[in-house]
Amino acid sequence: MSRFTLNNKYKAVVIGGSAGSFQGIVKILSHLPPDFPLPIIMCLHRLKHVRNGFVEALSIKSIMEVTEPYDKENIKKGKVYLAPANYHLCIELGHYFSLSTEEMINNSRPAIDLTLSTAAYVYRDKLIGILLSGANRDGGLGMKYIKDRGGLTIVQDPQECMIDTMPNAALSATTIDYVLKVDEIVDFFTELNKQYK
Known catalytic membership, residue 138: yes
What ranges make up the beta strands (E) of 118-157? 127-131, 152-156
The active-site residue out of 18, 21, 62, 117 is 18
State the Cα–Cα distance between residues 191 and 2, nearest whole angstrom.
7
The 3-state secondary structure of 57-91 reads HHHHHCCCCEECCCCCCECCCCCEEECCCCCEEEE
Q: CA distances (Å), 44 to each of 51, 193, 196, in order?
A: 13, 23, 27
State the Cα–Cα distance between residues 155 and 170, nearest whole angstrom.
8
Task: Read off φ and ψ for residue 32, nearest 5 degrees.
Answer: -65, 140
The active-site residue out of 21, 45, 88, 164 is 45
State the Cα–Cα distance between residues 141 and 24, nearest whole angstrom.
22
The active-site residue out of 88, 113, 133, 138 is 138
What amino acid positions are annotated as catalytic residues? 18, 45, 138
